[in-house]
Amino acid sequence: MMGKTTIPEEEFVFPGSTGCPGCGANLVMRYLLKGLGDRTILSIPACCWAVMPGYWPSNCLKVPLLYTAFEATGAAISGLRAALDIKGIQDVTVVGFAGDGGTVDIGLQAMSGAAERRTDAIYVMYDNEAYMNTGIQRSGSTPWGAWTTTTPVGNSHGFKHESKKDIMAIMQAHRIPYAATVSVAHPEDFVKKVRKAKDIKGFRFIHALSPCPPGWRMSPMHGVEVARLAVETHMFPLYEIEDGRVVVTRKGKGLPITEYTKFQGRFSHLTSQEIESIQESIDENWRNLLAKEASGT
Ligand SMILES: Cc1ncc(C[n+]2csc(CCOP(=O)(O)OP(=O)(O)O)c2C)c(N)n1
Ligand code: SF4
Ligand SMILES: [Mg+2]
């Protein structure tokens, strides 16, 4: 028998977002705010979600939002927290909500500073694995093998030949109290981790894989399925790092990576040997994650 959901029915993202059909980032915001409630202030830099709330005076978000420059989310949430502290407001959660480009690339130094200062805020990276808002350019979070408009297939260099940055390991090295990966295919787990993060003080980090139909060259109807397959193939494992200790929260079936790539045109040019090398790297990352869990680090 299916258990009763613990996800609140109340919505904090209303219809009217200007995101594309099937946008995973829309679901990331929806589950995040269900976990946090309306005593939340967001800061969002340049990215798809800077546009998605809508055109003034329309707004699909029920919570206040401070826009900031592309590179400045870490600084903006530090300022918001300091201002609330001066006013004696302690029941509001400050959230930085940024894309992968705004986090692992241009926003990395500001976020690193906020983490090092133990800023009392939650930083959410929605990871659609490229600079989508400006036309699908590669980022440091684009996986090896993927097509983007700046890693075009067919010229002498071809698809992206560099690996995805391990942002969770980067955040673990900052010794923050809590970091977790979440998936829009597992909303119960998603909201549970957000609630846990909410109750912890200091800098918390949430990494959400965020399927992007136009950027991943797939049908909008496959968005959630692809997110589920990312977990089942160990492409995007679900785990937490709490006070330095790694806990895998869903083992996944270990399906072949072709189950994940087959829906996505951004991988369709790859030869079977290239797919095999992706498989080897996923298997290695998965073994390393389990070893970290076993050793308590
Ligand atoms: C300093 C600066 N450089 C470039 C831009 C142009 N720009 C706006 S959004 C964006 C892409 C953001 O990528 P990401 O953070 O991954 O979010 P996504 O668009 O994928 O949601 C870029 C390059 C900018 N606004 N500011
Ligand atoms: S380009 Fe991708 S991330 Fe941006 S709104 Fe469309 S589906 Fe969402
Ligand atoms: Mg992006």
H runs (alpha helix) in 118-267: 167-172, 187-198, 213-216, 223-232, 258-261
Q: Within a domain: residue 205?
A: yes
Domain span holding position 119: 24-295
Residue 240 in contact with ligand 1 by CB distance below 6 A? no
Q: What is the CATH number of the domain that holds 144?
A: 3.40.50.970
Q: Within a domain: residue 276?
A: yes
Q: How far is Cα 288 from Cα 297, in angstroms, rounded to an integer? A: 11
- pLDDT at residue 1, rounded to an integer: 46
Q: How far is Cα 184 from Cα 151, in angstroms, rounded to an integer? A: 27
pLDDT digits (tens, 9 = 90+) for 121-134: 999 999 999 999 99
Q: What is the best residue among 29, 48, 126 to mutate for testing ligand 2's pocket, by most ligand atoms within 8 Å of CB?
A: 48
**Long-range contacts, stretch 66-69, CB < 8 angstroms, 24+ apart:** 66/41, 66/42, 67/43, 68/43, 68/44, 69/45
Residue 139 in contact with ligand 1 by CB distance below 6 A? yes
CA distance from start to end of the chain = 36
Residues of the chain whose pLDDT is less than 50?
1
Q: Within a domain: residue 262?
A: yes
- pLDDT at residue 286, rounded to an integer: 98
Residue 101 in contact with ligand 1 by CB distance below 6 A? yes
Say how many Å lie between the CA of residue 124 and the centre of ligand 2.
16
Q: Within a domain: residue 16?
A: no
Residue 20 in contact with ligand 2 by CB distance below 6 A? yes
Under DSSP, the state recorded for 117 is: T
Under DSSP, the state recorded for 157 is: S
Q: What is the value of pTM for the model shown?
A: 0.97
Domain count, the chain: 1
- pLDDT at residue 156, rounded to an integer: 60
Q: Within a domain: residue 84?
A: yes
Say how many Å lie between the CA of residue 27 and the centre of ligand 2.
11
Ligand closest in space to the Cα of 216: 2
Q: Which two tokens stand for residue 160?
A: 């992206």
Residue 184 in contact with ligand 2 by CB distance below 6 A? no
